[in-house]
Amino acid sequence: MGRKRKNPNSRHAISRRGFLTSVSTAPIAGAAMGQALETPAPVPAAKPHEPVNLVLKVNGRAFRLQVEPRDTLLSVLREKLGMTGTKPGCERGECGACTVLVNGIPRYACLILALEAAGQEITTVEGLMNGEQLGPVQKAFVEADAMQCGYCTPGQVMAAEGLLRVNPSPSLEEIRIAMSGNLCRCGAYDHIFKAVQRAAQARRAGGE
């Protein structure tokens, strides 16, 4: 009395404990099989980037150097040519601190591979000077007090230079549009716009 009847199929039944045990040990059993498991082939190590010979035309001079295919114009200008006036900022083409002129057009140096710049005429902020004398745009930025921390100033100057080369007499709205790709964290925009206007007047007066 009180004893449970044995299930006639009990020898074929799997208990809940037995099922969980069998599932949990399955990977171990599989791993123990060794040769029966398919092992993925090892991934070969990436080869170092091969240097490439390159000639860059910067500020009227030709420079022969070796670069890696992944090197940006920004890194080559700063690290290989020592032209540190071009500043790294966001390095994503958003802040404009690294602006240079490529064939007279303002471009973000962080978004251009050095190899892409081969054969192009590149102008950096250093190239606007006449010896030790500041160029008209650089001088206008100083006179208009168009900087605070000054980090973005080289890029701002290059954007203004690019504008004035194609439009010697820009309106205030045209200046705002042309300078919109260059951010100033200090918020000196009013002085920057006045500096561009001042530079435009100086260039016209000097016939530049």
Q: b/e string for 158-174 if b means 16 or more Cβ within 10 A?
A: bbbbbbbeeeeebeeee
Same domain? For 145 and 118 the reply is: no
Q: How confident is the model at residue 208 (pLDDT cuts 50, 70, 90)?
A: low
pLDDT of residue 39: 53
Measured CA to CA, the distance from residue 54 to residue 64 in angstroms comes to 6
What CA–CA distances, in Å, run from 148 to 144, 145, 155, 180?
11, 8, 14, 18
Query: pLDDT of 170-180, one tens digit each?
Result: 999 999 999 99
Boundary (domain end) residue, out of 71, 100, 127: 127
Mean pLDDT, to the nearest integer, of 158-175? 98
Domain membership of residue 175 (yes or no) is: yes
Same domain? For 67 and 116 the reply is: yes
Same domain? For 79 and 105 the reply is: yes
- Classify the phi-psi angles of 202: left when phi > 0, otherwise alpha if psi is within -120 to 50, otherwise beta: alpha
Boundary (domain end) residue, out of 108, 127, 146: 127
- Would the pTM of this model clear 0.85, i.e. be above it? no
Helix (H) or strand (E) holding 52: strand 52-58
Domain membership of residue 26 (yes or no) is: no
Mean pLDDT, to the nearest integer, of 26-38? 40
pLDDT of residue 30: 38
Q: Is 11 exposed, middle or buried (0-12, 13-18, 19+ CB in 10 A)?
A: exposed
Domain membership of residue 207 (yes or no) is: yes
Same domain? For 158 and 179 the reply is: yes
Domain count, the chain: 2
Query: pLDDT of 35-50, one tens digit each?
Result: 444 555 554 443 457 8
Q: Is the pLDDT of residue 6 over 70?
A: no
Same domain? For 157 and 114 the reply is: no
Domain membership of residue 58 (yes or no) is: yes
pLDDT of residue 50: 86
Same domain? For 123 and 134 the reply is: no
**What are the backbone angles phi and psi of residue 113, rounded to the nearest 5°?**
-70, 145
Query: pLDDT of 54-90, one tens digit each?
Result: 999 999 999 999 999 999 999 999 999 999 999 999 9
CATH number of the domain within which 87 lies: 3.10.20.30
Instruction: Tell me the residue range of the domain where 69 lies.
Output: 50-127
At 197, list the tokens.
């206007």
Same domain? For 122 and 134 the reply is: no
More confident residue, 208 or 193: 193
What CA–CA distances, in Å, run from 105 to 72, 158, 175, 186, 204?
17, 9, 15, 26, 20
CATH number of the domain within which 180 lies: 1.10.150.120
Domain membership of residue 35 (yes or no) is: no
